Each structure stands twice: as structure tokens, then as C-alpha cells.
């Protein structure tokens, strides 16, 4: 899908600054300044029994995620997190006038924003996450999208759906794990804060179209980890990002930098000028962020693999997906990679725990194990250090974050799926205007510079860590501070 062109008359840059910190998992009161706090969906687990169940839960999450990505999916679920945290992230957004708050998962793998609607069938009314769920009422300031409207036709493959013009535009999505959502589209206001000076903001809003969920099925209706919906940052024209770009509010470029070391982070919409990021082309006409992987090296030695191993095509290729926690490789690649990683530890005792390879090791894993390097088209590389792909799961017990894709659904056994295991602690830039994606290793607790595309001025966007305002508890959940800021623009 070709990107929407950026209007030359706009110098506004939308900055969505996400600050991660470690904090208590307690309900967050509505913020008067429309600051969106995004938190990890699951807390860290402690003892051995909890750790094993935690691994099982992690596999279930990624298994469901994998099925959703590989099916004919319009709205996969996702998020981000450390393996030992089982982390999806969610944020609180505000919709309508007057605005009401909704907790939604943040996901680069899905396109539209959708929330559960009032009188929803099968939608949970309580959440095990300790948050208050709210069902959206379209009878407020919202308006229903009709079958004959452009948004509806575009989301039906460009063909008018078989319903009368005065009927609501409906959607139904069935995921690979059997869960589903059904509803209709509405248009209403998304509330945000506009930057009016250094450290100063003024309230603003934009009209967007999103899904109103009328019925949920399967895991989506479970109350244990229930949220109000999903906020997608995919590349289709139906995404919130695309709608804001089409309205001249933002360029169609965003970046994230999630710090799993210090608990800080940045999420920004706008042209990142510092640090410089090398890019690789996105594979055209793909529903996800697909790239061309050329090879893998372990400790500097390139793995000897068949030349067609990383071909792009149906049920093949490489997907960059922040909604997947781990990384999945075709079986032949996985076995070759594991042999190279453990080459000097032939006698090490490896145990299988919920399809994870785990072992006992004392000392520094960075000193004891090799770095893994993925090479992509355009001479872009992605370095994955031992402390990235080996996560501690108890005293001197480590598990490998790479999993055998052959154990997934048969349609995905030949795919490479790279999740936050390899993306954390890197600035990742999604430039949909030029159809490229890139990254660089970065201190996500520092800052980046965003360019105002009209004036050429640059603005520093700092990472935020709000742990000083909370009781610091490393073993409890993370929190993101999700601040939307917009720089003024001039219309000629």
C-alpha cells in the first residue's frame, strides 16, 4: 500500500513521548492534562513454580499472537515486554466530547483503534489488571459510519459492502486462536494535548474513525487480562496514524525506543534527525512490517543456510513485530543457530521448559556466549547480545528467547518473526512515507531530536521516568508515561 503523501504546508510534528518506569500496578486516576500512562499488562513472577507457569503463559501469548499474524487478520493483538515480565503494554486514551477514558493495548501490528461498546455481548465488565473498564457509548458525540461511506468501502477492499446505505458499516474479525470481535465503525474525537511552549500544552482533538465492538468471543472476552480495546499503529489507511497524517496533523513516520534496563523510553511521531538511523526497505504490499533478511552470523561467523531460506512470499519472509515478545525462526535455521550458540558448551545440560531451552550458567552471559547478527537488505544489521536473547529465570538459570517456528502453526513454520526480544534498547523508526524501517542501538533513557518539517527546526524529545512520583518496586509492573504533544503549524 502506497504511503499517504505529507502535505507541504504543514510544519506540525506530533510527538508521542512514552516514558516507561517501574511502579506499582494500581489504578491511575484520570490526568487533567491528558497524559496517557501505559503499563505492562503482567507483573514479574518470583519463585520457581511461578516462573514455570510464567513461561507457559508467555508461550500461550506468543502462540496466540503468531496465529493471529498468520491468519487472514485485520486486527491482531499485541504489545511489548520482557520475557520475564510477559509484557504487553496498555495506555489510557480519551475519546468523545466530553471525553471519557479507555484502556487500550498499544500495538504496531494492528491497524485500527477499537473499543468495546455499551451493551456489548461477551465484553468483560471487570479486569484482573486492577483497572476500571469503560464501554464506549456512540450515542454521545459519535456518529455511525454508513455502508456507503468512503471509509467503509475502503475497508471492504474498495467494494461497497452488501448492505443498505443507511445501515452501519460492520466488521468481524476471527483470529487464528478462535477469538473474535464484531461491531461497527463510528467517528468521534480523539483528545490530546498540543504543545504551546516549553513544557506547556493546550488541549486539542482530532476527528477519527474507529471500531465499536459489539460482541467479543474467545480470549478477547476473558476478564483476567481484559482491556477496553486496541490502539493500532499499523500502516494501513484505517490506522489512527494514517488518519492523523491524512488530516495534515502529522507526518506518517513514528519511532519507539523502549528501555528494559533503566525503565525509560520514547515513542514519537515525526521525523527523527538524531540519532541517525540506517534503514532497509519494507517489502511492498504486505499487511505487516515485512523486511528482507539476508543472513545470520553467530560470533562473526555467517551461518551456512540454503539460499532460499529467507525468501519473501506467502507464509515466508521476515516480520518486525513489537507485539511479539520473543523471536521465532524456521526449524532448520533454529537448529543451526542453537548449534552455533552452544558450540563451546557441548556438555551443558539443557532442559526443555514449555518449549524453552533452559540451562544453568554462572558468570556473565555476555562473556560466555556469542553475539548474534541479523543482516538485512541495504547493509542494515541488527545485533542481538547474549543478555538480550538469554533471559534469567531463577538463580543461575537462563532460557533462550529464540523459539522453533516449526512448533507453531504449519503456515508459519518458514517465517522469521522478530519481536521485542531483539528490538528492545534500540531506537526503531518506521518511515511509512518512504516505505523503510530502521534502527540503531540507543540509550532509551536519553533523548532524541525531531525535525519540524516546515521550519527545519529541531526539538529535543526526552525520555521520561516517572518512578520518582511512585513507590519504586522493581519486581512489580512497569509504567509508561504516554504524552501526546503537537507543535504548531502554519497554513499558507
**Catalytic residue selected from 111, 177, 259, 321:** 321
Tell me, yes or no, if 219 is annotated catalytic: no
At residue 228, what are phi and psi to the nearest 5 degrees?
-80, -20
Determine phi and psi for 83, rounding to 5 degrees.
-55, -40
Beta carbons within 10 angstroms of residue 343's beta carbon: 13
User: Distance between CA atoms of 244 and 247, rounded to whole angstroms?
Assistant: 5
Backbone angles phi, psi at 340, to 5 degrees: -75, -40
One-letter-per-residue 3-state SS of the chain: CCCCCCCCCCCCCEEEEEEEEECCCCCCCCCCCCCEEEEECCCCCCCHHHHHHHHHHHHHHHHHHHHHHHCCCCCCCCCCCCHHHCCCEEEEEEECCCCEEEEEEEECCCCCCEEEEEEEECCCCCCCCCCCCCCECCCCCCEECECCCHHHHHCCCCCCCCCCCCCECEEEEECCCCCEEEEEEEEEEEEEEEEEECCEEEEEEEEEEEEEEEEEEHHHHCCCCCCCEEEECCCCCCCHHHHHHHCCCCCCEEEEEECCCCCCEEEEECEEEECCCEEEEECCCCCCCEECEEEEEECCEECCCCCCCCCCECCEEEEECCCCCCEEECHHHHHHHHHHHCCCCCCCCEEEECCEEEEECCCCHHHHCCCEEEEECCCEEEEECHHHHEEECCCCEEEECEEEHHHCCHHHCCEEEECHHHHCCEEEEEECCCCEEEEEECCCCCEEEEECCCCCCEEEEECECHHHHCCCCCCCCEEEEEEEEECCCCCC
Phi-psi region of 90 (alpha: psi -120 to 50; beta: other; left: phi over 0): beta
CA–CA gap between residue 8 and residue 18 (Å, rounded)? 27
Q: How many CA atoms lie within 13 A of 136 on its CB side?
A: 37
Query: Which listed residue (62, 74, 107, 177) is catalytic?
Result: 107
Confirm whether 414 is a catalytic residue.
no
- Which amino acids are annotated catalytic? 107, 321
Amino acid at each position: 500500500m502506497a504511503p499517504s503523501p505529507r502535505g507541504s504546508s504543514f510544519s506540525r510534528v506530533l510527538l508521542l513521548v512514552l516514558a516507561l518506569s517501574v511502579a506499582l500496578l494500581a489504578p491511575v486516576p484520570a490526568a487533567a492534562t491528558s497524559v496517557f500512562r501505559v503499563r505492562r499488562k503482567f507483573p514479574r513472577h518470583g519463585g520457581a513454580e511461578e516462573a514455570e507457569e510464567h513461561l507457559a503463559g508467555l508461550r500461550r501469548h506468543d502462540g496466540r499472537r503468531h496465529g493471529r499474524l498468520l491468519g487472514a487478520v485485520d486486527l491482531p493483538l499485541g504489545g511489548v515486554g520482557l520475557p520475564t515480565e510477559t509484557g504487553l503494554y496498555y495506555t489510557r486514551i480519551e475519546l468523545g466530547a466530553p471525553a471519557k477514558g479507555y484502556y487500550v493495548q498499544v500495538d504496531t501490528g494492528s491497524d485500527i483503534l477499537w473499543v468495546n461498546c455499551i451493551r456489548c455481548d461477551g465484553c468483560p465488565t471487570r479486569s484482573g489488571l486492577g483497572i476500571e473498564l469503560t464501554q464506549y457509548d456512540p450515542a454521545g458525540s459519535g456518529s455511525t459510519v454508513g455502508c456507503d461511506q468512503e471509509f467503509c468501502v475502503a475497508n471492504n477492499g474498495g467494494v461497497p459492502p452488501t448492505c443498505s446505505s443507511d445501515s452501519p458499516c460492520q466488521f468481524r474479525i476471527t483470529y487464528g486462536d478462535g477469538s473474535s470481535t464484531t461491531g461497527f465503525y463510528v467517528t468521534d474525537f480523539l483528545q490530546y494535548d498540543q504543545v504551546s511552549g516549553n513544557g506547556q500544552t493546550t488541549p486539542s482533538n482530532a476527528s477519527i474513525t474507529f471500531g465499536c465492538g459489539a460482541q467479543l468471543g474467545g480470549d478477547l472476552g476473558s476478564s483476567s487480562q481484559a482491556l477496553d480495546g486496541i490502539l493500532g499503529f499499523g500502516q494501513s489507511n484505517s490506522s489512527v496514524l494514517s488518519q492523523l497524517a491524512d488530516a495534515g496533523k502529522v507526518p506518517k513516520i513514528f519511532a519507539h525506543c523502549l528501555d528494559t534496563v533503566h525503565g525509560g523510553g520514547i515513542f514519537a511521531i515525526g521525523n527523527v534527525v538524531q540519532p541517525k538511523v540506517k534503514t532497509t526497505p519494507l517489502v511492498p504490499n504486505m499487511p505487516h512490517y515485512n523486511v528482507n533478511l539476508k543472513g545470520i552470523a553467530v560470533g562473526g561467523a555467517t551461518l551456512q543456510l540454503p539460499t532460499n531460506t529467507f525468501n519473501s512470499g506467502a507464509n515466508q519472509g521476515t516480520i518486525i513485530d513489537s507485539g511479539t515478545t520473543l523471536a521465532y525462526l524456521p526449524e532448520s535455521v533454529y537448529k543451526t543457530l542453537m548449534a552455533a550458540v552452544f558450540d563451546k558448551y557441548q556438555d551443558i545440560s539443557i532442559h526443555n521448559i514449555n518449549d524453552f531451552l533452559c540451562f544453568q550458567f554462572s558468570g556473565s552471559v555476555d562473556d560466555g556466549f556469542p553475539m548474534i547478527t541479523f543482516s538485512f537488505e541495504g547493509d542494515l544489521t541488527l545485533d542481538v547480545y547474549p543478555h538480550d536473547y538469554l533471559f534469567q529465570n531463577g538463580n543461575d538459570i537462563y532460557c533462550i528467547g529464540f523459539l522453533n517456528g516449526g512448533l507453531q502453526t504449519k503456515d508459519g513454520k518458514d517465517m522469521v518473526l522478530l519481536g521485542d526480544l531483539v528490538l528492545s534498547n534500540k531506537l526503531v523508526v518506521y518511515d511509512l512515507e518512504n516505505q523503510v524501517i530502521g534502527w540503531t542501538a540507543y540509550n532509551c533513557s536519553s533523548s532524541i531530536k525531531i525535525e519540524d518539517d516546515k521550519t527545519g527546526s529541531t526539538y529535543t524529545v526526552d525520555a521520561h521516568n516517572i518512578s520518582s512520583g511512585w513507590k519504586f518496586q522493581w519486581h512489580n509492573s512497569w509504567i509508561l508515561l504516554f504524552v501526546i504533544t503537537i507543535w504548531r503549524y502554519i497554513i499558507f
